[in-house]
Amino acid sequence: MSEQTTTPAPRPGATENAGDPAGSAPKANPLKQFFSGPAGRSIGLVVALILLIVIGAITAGENFMNVDNMFVILRYASVIGVVSIGMTFVITAGGIDLSVGSVLGLSSVVASLGAIQTASEGFWPLMVFVAIAVGVLAGLTNGFIIAYGKVVAFIATVAMLAAARGLAELISQRSTQVVTNNGFLDFFRGDLLGVSWVVWIFALVSLAGWFVLNRTTFGRRTVAIGGNETAARLAGVAVKRHTVYLYMIAGACAGIGATMTLARTTAGTSTHGMLYELDAIAAVVVGGTLLIGGRGTIGGTVLGVLLFATLSNVFTQNNLSSSVQLVARGVIIVVAVMLQQRFANRESTGSGG
C-alpha cells in the first residue's frame, strides 16, 4: 500500500516510533481527535437527528415543524428517557436489566392502589415515593441475586421481568386503577417556564446521571467494573456492593418512569411499560454505550432516545403504520451499531500510529 505513495510527508507514526523518550505528545490531527472523542462520537447522532427533523419538516411541513409538536416529541421521549438513564449505568458496568418495563408496570399499580391514593390525599408526593420505592426494591432484589447469588444478569432480570408483571396483575386484579388524586394530576399537568414537568424531570435525571457517571467516584467505579471487573475487584473496589447499587438505580428510574406514566395516562395498570426494556437498551446502545461495558455516555443515551421519539413522530405525522416504524427502528439500530464499530476500530488502530 505505502510503496505507491510518493509524497514522503505524511508519516504520523514515525517520530513516535523512533522512541524519542522525552518527546512531546504525538500530535494527532485535531479533527480526527475530535471525532474519536466523546463529543465526536455523538456527532453522528446529532446529524441523524437533524436529518430526521429535516425529513419531518419536508414531509409533514407545518404539522411537524411547530413548537407544540416539539414538546409532544419531548414528552413522548421523557418516560423512556428516564428509564434509559438508569439502563445506561447498568450497561456501562457490563450488566443488563431486562426487568425495567415490568417494574415500571408494577410501580404504577402499587402507587395507584386505592389505599395509597387515599393516604396521599393531603400529600400527593407520597405516591411518587411509593412508586420509586417499589422500583428500588425490585432493583435491590435484582442486584442481590446477581451480585451475591451469582446469577447472570440476563437471567436474573428476565426472571424479574416475568415475576414483576405477574405481581402487578395479582395486585391490580388485572383492572385499571384510575388516578383520582388531583394534587398529583395537577402537578404533572402543570409546567415551569412553559415546559411540562415531565420534560423537566427527564432533563434533571439526565443531568444528574451525567454528573454521577462522569464526575463522581460512583461513576468511576461503574466504568471500572464494566471495563474489567477482575481488575476492579483486585484493586479493592467493592464490586458486589456496587453492582447492587447499580440495579437499584435502574429500578429507581423505572419508578420515576412509573410516576410519569401514571400522570400521562391518569391510570395505573399492569400493562404499563410493556417492552420498554428493549426501547431503553436500543436507545442506550445507539447512543454509544458499549453493551459489553466499560464505556458509557449519558449524552448519547439522551440523543438515542430523542432519535427514536422523533422517528416515531415523523411516521405518525405522515400517517404511516406503526409496523413500518418498527422496521425503520430495526434498521437504525443495526446501522448505528455498525457505524460505531467502524469508529471504534479506527480509534484503536489509529493510536498505533
Interface residues toward another protein, by CB under 8 A: 21-23, 25, 215-220, 223-224, 227-228, 230-238, 294-295, 348, 351-352
For 58, the grid coordinates are: 419536508
For 173, the grid coordinates are: 386484579
Min CB(21)–another protein separation in Å: 5
Min CB(306)–another protein separation in Å: 27
Min CB(16)–another protein separation in Å: 10
Min CB(231)–another protein separation in Å: 5
Q: Cβ closer to another protein: 40 or 227?
A: 227
Residues 14 and 26: their CA atoms lie apart, in Å, by 10
Residues 4 and 2: their CA atoms lie apart, in Å, by 5
Q: Cβ closer to another protein: 7 or 349?
A: 349
| Identity of the amino acid at 47 | V
Residues 109 and 131: their CA atoms lie apart, in Å, by 9
Min CB(184)–another protein separation in Å: 32
Min CB(229)–another protein separation in Å: 10
Q: Cβ closer to another protein: 22 or 275?
A: 22
Angle at 215 between CA 29 and CA 336, to 5 degrees: 55
Q: Cβ closer to another protein: 4 or 349?
A: 349
Q: Cβ closer to another protein: 88 or 172?
A: 88
Q: Cβ closer to another protein: 231 or 327?
A: 231
Are the CB atoms for 256 and 111 separated by under 8 Å? no
Q: Cβ closer to another protein: 169 or 347?
A: 347
Q: How buried is residue 141: exposed, middle or buried, by Cβ count under 10 Å (0-12/13-18/19+)?
A: buried
Residues 331 and 227: their CA atoms lie apart, in Å, by 28
| Identity of the amino acid at 123 | F
Min CB(219)–another protein separation in Å: 8
Are the CB atoms for 352 and 13 separated by under 8 Å? yes
Residues whose CB falls within 8 Å of the CB of residue 343, separated by 6 or more in sequence, listed in order: 35, 36, 41, 44
